[in-house]
Chains A and B, each alone.
Chain A
Amino acid sequence: MSARRQEGNASELRSGQFNLMVLKIHRYAADHIQAEMADQVESAPQLLRGAAVALDLGALERLPSIESLSDLLARLRYVGLIPVGLIGQGLEWIELARGCRIPLLAPERRRGRAEETPVAPPAAEEPAAPTPPPAAEAEAPAVAAPGGLSSPLVIAGPVRSGQQIYARGRDLIIHGTVSAGAEVAADGCVHVYGRLSGKALAGAGGDLRARVYCLEFAAELVSIAGNFRVFESAPRDIVGKTVEMFLDEGRLQIRALR
């Protein structure tokens, strides 16, 4: 083991983030889809030949069978596209994706809605986030966890001045301090296990129920679903305290937890 340690591992798993083309299917007609895609690839081969696409079947009234979807995937490969995933969530989709040997990708959707509708209807019609957060240095899309929940984005160290972290479609957990001049944002809740001296934005996608927690409060700004408060000089009674921040009838409230 020690010999292997010294040389370093030959491989490692990391999360990455890539733009992916989405092929949205309005009508499940394999022949037509194949012809249309063949034309598209023909007209822009540089861009599309060998391009990875995710398949969005959310507009269909009912799911295709494993056989027919496998056929469609083969046709797409034939015209030069590389299907890399199926967008959807829920049991039926898991079975369908497994049957076709293709990964299942969680639809991009706002937190909160997902809890009300566990089996995924069309995802693409979701309205865009009303207040898009600032361009993020570290942005990670939601990853589907078992049971339809999105797993939180966990940052294992401090977030320093000038850094921006955005957890799209999920909670954000920081193990460490958030320095003055740093920004942490999430569509869900923000948890800071350390001093929060920078800016924290929860419910960046508009979720009014999102909350911010921190071990030591010293924030410059806190925002929940766009309702923000600037702390030019933080109130004496909460500075350094472990607090919870939430919206109560549109007003940002701060409450010491102990």
Chain B
Amino acid sequence: MSEIIVVTSGKGGVGKTTSSASLAVGFARRGKKTAVVDFDIGLRNLDLIMGCERRVVYDFVNVINGDCALKQALIRDKRFDNLSVLAASQTKDKDALTQEGVERVLNDLRQEFDIVLCDSPAGIERGAFYAMYFADRAVVVVNPEVSSVRDSDRVLGIMASKSKRAESGQAPIKEHLLLTRYSPERVERGEMMSVADVEEILGIKVIGVIPEAGEVLAASNSGVPVILDEASDAGQAYEDAIARLLGEERPMRFLEPKKKGFFQRLFGGS
């Protein structure tokens, strides 16, 4: 059965697109036929992180407007042929999205794919609203700081009251929390909110904790989602999150500060 999953946050710069890219690759690597859609009309980014920016010919808005067929706009990933990207338009603005248009494209994607991942723009305006409106599940990306947590709370509230599922009285959108840019060292020093703090305020358990790491930025810049960097903590943490999203039990990792112990020095850990 196909699922629409929105990756959202409210606040900008918390790692939605980075997470969308890694989650999309993670699902595809697990054999799920996956499409990832960039809803940030006018500020196209997902294609960059996915490393397919030079292959964008048609985009999401073209499909909505009927300028091209959905198949023409879907960009197949070079690493996984069961993964496709639907890029945002860089020249239009968010008014190009209509509820009927978005619904039609998402329904068509549902026919073809197991998982349709919607990469939401920041904010709670039109683009973000349509990204979440039709979702079955939501991955709310949050950073361990107060403003991000507050915005995520707001977004969770909107999903609980204004989504299609809420309006039509279906079972609510299933909510997952993905904590990104987590630094155990700074939590220990009391400079950053802990996993427990965030879980308590939002009343939801986290599905994954992605440590703050240089590899994430490097991966984004080179168009290779960090989940493919299997040596990195962040890559492994995303893989854990994928496993949990697919219903597996996995213990949380990377929550403790790294100890510069004997073994680590011996084996050249950072």
Interface core residue of A137, A162, A163, A176 (most chain B CB under 10 Å):
A162
B150 contacts which chain A residues (CB < 8 A)?
A: 161, 180-181
8 Å CB contact of B169 from A14, A176, A182: A14
Of the listed stretches A40-48, A72-80, A152-160, A248-256, chain B binds: A152-160
> Shortest beta-carbon distance, A179 to chain B, in Å?
5
Neighbouring B residues of A14 by C-beta, 8 Å: 169
A160 and B201 contact, Cβ closer than 8 Å, known pairs A14-B169, A181-B150, A181-B153: no
User: Which range contains the number of A residues in contact with the other chain?
Assistant: 20 to 34
- Chain A residue numbers with a CB within 8 Å of B170 are 8
Interface core residue of B151, B154, B156, B157 (most chain A CB under 10 Å): B157
A137 with B161, Cβ < 8 A, contacts A160-B153, A161-B154 known: yes
Interface positions, chain A 152-198, Cβ under 8 Å from B, are 157-163, 176-177, 179-182, 194, 197
Residues of A within 8 A of B193 (CB): none
**Could you say which of A8, A160, A163 has the most chain B C-beta atoms within 10 Å of its C-beta?**
A160
CB <8 Å contact, B153 and A179: yes
Within 8 A of A (CB), among B151-186: 151, 153-154, 156-158, 160-161, 169-170
Inside 8 A of B151's CB, which chain A residues have their CB?
A: 161
CB distance from A50 to the nearest CB of B (A): 25
B42 interface residue, CB < 8 Å from A? no
Flag whether B203 is at the interface (Cβ < 8 A). Answer: yes
Shortest beta-carbon distance, B252 to chain A, in Å? 23
CB-CB under 8 A for A179 and B201, given A12-B169, A161-B153, A161-B154: yes
- Select from chain A the residue with minimum beta-carbon distance to B159: A160
Asked if A160 contacts B156 (CB within 8 A), the reply is: yes
- Cα–Cα distance between A181 and B153 once the two chains are bound (Å): 9
Complex-state Cα separation, A179 to B203, whole angstroms? 10
CA distance A70 to B151 in the complex (A): 55
Determine the chain B residues whose CB is within 8 A of the CB of A176 once the complex forms.
Answer: 203
Please, which residues of chain B bring their CB within 8 A of the CB of A35?
none
Contact of B203 with A161 in the complex, beta carbons under 8 Å: no
Q: Name, among A14, A138, A179, the residue most crowded by chain B CB atoms within 10 Å (CB to CB).
A: A179
> Does the CB pair A162–B169 fall under 8 Å?
no
Chain A residues in 8 Å Cβ range of B156: 160
Residues from chain A with Cβ under 8 Å of B157 in the complex: 159-163, 179, 182
Q: How far is the CA of A194 from the CA of B200 in the complex (A)?
A: 11
Contact of A177 among B154, B169, B203 (CB under 8 A): B203
* A158 contact from B154, B158, B169, B203, Cβ within 8 A: B203
A residues 172-229 in Cβ contact with B at 8 Å: 176-177, 179-182, 194, 197
Chain B residues whose C-beta falls within 8 Å of the C-beta of A161 in the assembled complex: 150-151, 153-154, 157
A-contacting residues, B189-227, CB 8 Å: 201, 203
**Cβ contact within 8 Å between A162 and B201:** no
Within the complex, the shortest CB–CB distance from B205 to chain A, in Å, comes to 14
**Interchain CA distance A186-B236 in the complex, whole Å:** 48
Min distance, Cβ B123 to any Cβ of chain A, angstroms: 13
CB distance from A6 to the nearest CB of B (A): 11
Q: Let me know if A162 and B154 touch, CB within 8 A.
A: yes
Contact B160 A157 (CB under 8 A): yes
- Whether A160 pairs with B169 at a CB distance below 8 angstroms is no
Q: A63: shortest Cβ distance to chain B, in Å? A: 38
Looking at B153, B160, B203, which has the most chain A CB atoms within 10 Å of its CB?
B153
A194 / chain B contacts, CB cutoff of 8 Å: 203
* Complex contacts, B201 vs chain A, CB 8 Å: 179, 197
Q: Which residues of A contact B153 (CB under 8 A)?
A: 160-162, 179-181
Chain B residue nearest in CB terms to A11: B169
Q: How far is the CA of A181 from the CA of B201 in the complex (A)?
A: 12
Q: In the complex, what residues of B have CB within 8 A of residue A8's CB?
A: 170
- Alpha-carbon distance between A161 and B150 when the two chains are bound, in angstroms: 7
A168 to B169, CA, bound (A): 22
Residues of B within 8 A of A157 (CB): 160
A176 and B154 alpha carbons, distance in the complex (Å): 15
Nearest-Cβ distance from residue A181 to partner chain B, whole angstroms: 6
Per the bound structure, the CA–CA distance linking A177 and B150 in Å amounts to: 14
The CA-CA distance from A14 to B168 in the complex, in Å, is 10
Cβ-defined partner of A163 (8 Å) among B161, B169, B203: B161
Instruction: For residue A202, give the distance in angstroms from its CB to the closest CB of chain B.
Output: 21
Smallest beta-carbon distance B145→chain A, Å: 14
- Closest Cβ of chain A: how far from B37's Cβ, in Å? 25
Chain A residues numbered 80-138 whose CB sits less than 8 Å from any CB in chain B: 137-138
List 17 A-B pairs, Cβ < 8 Å.
A14-B169, A137-B161, A138-B161, A157-B160, A160-B153, A161-B150, A161-B151, A161-B153, A162-B153, A162-B157, A176-B203, A179-B153, A180-B150, A180-B153, A182-B157, A194-B203, A197-B201
Q: A163-B161, A177-B203 are in contact. List 7 more A-B contacts (CB 8 A).
A: A158-B203, A160-B156, A161-B154, A176-B203, A179-B153, A179-B201, A180-B153
